[in-house]
Amino acid sequence: MSGRIDPSWLVFDSVENVEHDRCVDCFSLPDGSFGFEEFRRDVEDGGAWTLEPDDFRWSHKVTPPEV
């Protein structure tokens, strides 16, 4: 996992592809929203995870249904 993810986020799943060069971290935030960020790992970067551009990020606020 990359050090770019905010420490207040709870990463509940991290999925790598078979080649081990792509990873998606799924997380929840303190405000009740959740989202994901995609990372890539390149040989020329020394194998470090690199956050993909904004097109590969998403978050959404979830509110409980009214009863």
Q: Would you list the domain boundaries of the chain? A: 10-60
Tens digit of pLDDT for each residue in 21-62?
999 998 888 888 888 888 999 988 888 888 887 665 666 565
- Is the Cα dihedral 65, 11, 2, 39 positive or negative? negative
Give 6's contacts (C-beta < 8 A, 6+ positions apart).
Answer: 29
Predicted local distance difference test score (pLDDT) of residue 1: 44
Q: 0.75 cut: is pTM over it? A: no
Distances, alpha carbon 1 to alpha carbons 58, 63, 67, in Å: 17, 28, 38
